[in-house]
Amino acid sequence: MRFTFLFVLAPALVGSGCAQRTTRPADVAVVAAPATPVYPGESWERIESPEAVGWSSEGLARVRERLESMSSSGFMAVVGGRVLMEYGDVEVVSYLASVRKSVLSMLYGIYAERGRIRLDATLAELGIDDHQGLTPEEKQATVRDLLAARSGVYHPASNGGDDLASAPPRGSQRPGTYYLYSNWDFNALGTIFEQETGVDIYDALETELAWPLGMQDFDRSIHRKSGNRNLSQHLAYHMHLSTRDMARIGYLMLRNGNWNGRQIVPAAWVRESTRAITRVHEMNPERRREGPFGYGYLWWVFDRPELGPAYEGAYTGLGAVGQHILVMPALDLVIAHKTVPGEGRRVTHEEFVELVDLFVRARCDGGQCKAPVSR
């Protein structure tokens, strides 16, 4: 999953060939989470009037126009636990791409709390190796180092779509000291999860998340690992979800891992995994420092204070060709976005972040909206 951001201020957060602006983003009212949160049952409740919850119908119409000009196949925005806006086919199940890593992070939090995974265990202690062998120093990387993409292991991965082509020489970086987005780290985490818990990742996805969250479109039978075993022993654990089920994942995170009174993902893990463990100015390769993101435990974390209060505490899962789960606690907002891979549909991460900025600007100033004139 390679992408390069050119960071600019609002109205476009990122974009190619855009001149940098010096104006601050528009002030957006921060929203407190409701005392009694709303959760979806068999289906999501819907917001009839955007203005009633502090959003502009005209602004959302501009978001819809932008979606129509893109290759988006599904889009859902959830505010306060109810659907504010929906676009495309949100029921179709398709490839989740690298958002799988953010979902695995949630499973790690669950099983670490149960004592099934030791986050400070080293690869040496766990017996993790690969073709031609890892070096003794590489084997000192911990599970935490892999979760933060700071392992210092630059062994080839079984699948592409990462930054290993920009990796420094093997052995040049001590574990824990240098960020690099590497599928070797992420795939090895899959191996470690199954080895230590004795549970298949997809079975855990079903029992720990799909069933408790009441996912509407989940199909365990279509999930299988893939990758080139000649390159690495550790395969990729790709997942397939619908847009509306991705929104349930995001909403669970927004509610600090709690689903209708049941603590599914530990709240402490939600906080820890979605903070910028690697700050934006520490990202590698250097082109990543131009974007808005730092990195947590398999989540991309907005790390630009100049974006304004709406982005405080915001984070997202990012997947190739347009798979996204975005959580914005300051607005009590979750956005799920998809394209269908293989149909020639592609939305870049830059385009998605620009779309998010347009959506944020549909939030009424101070929560005061003027209702649209009926015709």
51-82: pLDDT as tens digits:
999 999 999 999 999 999 999 999 999 999 99
**C-alpha span between 146 and 187 (Å, rounded):** 10
**C-alpha span between 13 and 118 (Å, rounded):** 38
- Return the exposure string of 106-141: e unless at least 16 CB atoms fall within 10 Å of the residue's CB, then b: bbbbbbbeeeebeeeebbbebebbbeeebeeebbbb
Tell me the two tokens of residue 347.
């939305």
Tell me the two tokens of residue 315.
């984070």
What is the three-class DSSP state of 105? Answer: helix
**C-alpha span between 212 and 272 (Å, rounded):** 22
What is the three-class DSSP state of 295? Answer: strand
Q: How many residues does the chain have?
A: 375
For the stretch 108-144, pLDDT in tens is 999 999 999 999 999 999 999 999 999 999 999 999 9
Position 9 scores a pLDDT of 37
What domains does the chain contain, in order, with CATH numbers?
Answer: 50-97+240-367 (3.40.710.10), 99-213 (no CATH)
DSSP string over 273-317: HTS-SB-GGG-SSGGGGGSSEEE-SSSEEE--GGG-GGGTT-EEE
What are φ and ψ of residue 198, in 5° steps?
75, 15
Count helices and strands (H / E) in the chain. 10, 11
**C-alpha span between 67 and 202 (Å, rounded):** 31
For the stretch 29-54, pLDDT in tens is 667 666 689 999 999 999 999 999 99
Of 43, 104, 107, give the one whose Cα is nearest residue 78: 43
Mean pLDDT by 10 residues, the chain (375 residues): 42 32 49 80 96 95 96 96 98 96 98 98 98 97 98 98 96 97 98 98 98 98 98 98 98 98 98 98 96 97 96 97 97 96 84 96 66 40
**C-alpha span between 295 and 190 (Å, rounded):** 19
Cα 304 to the center of its chain, rounded Å: 17
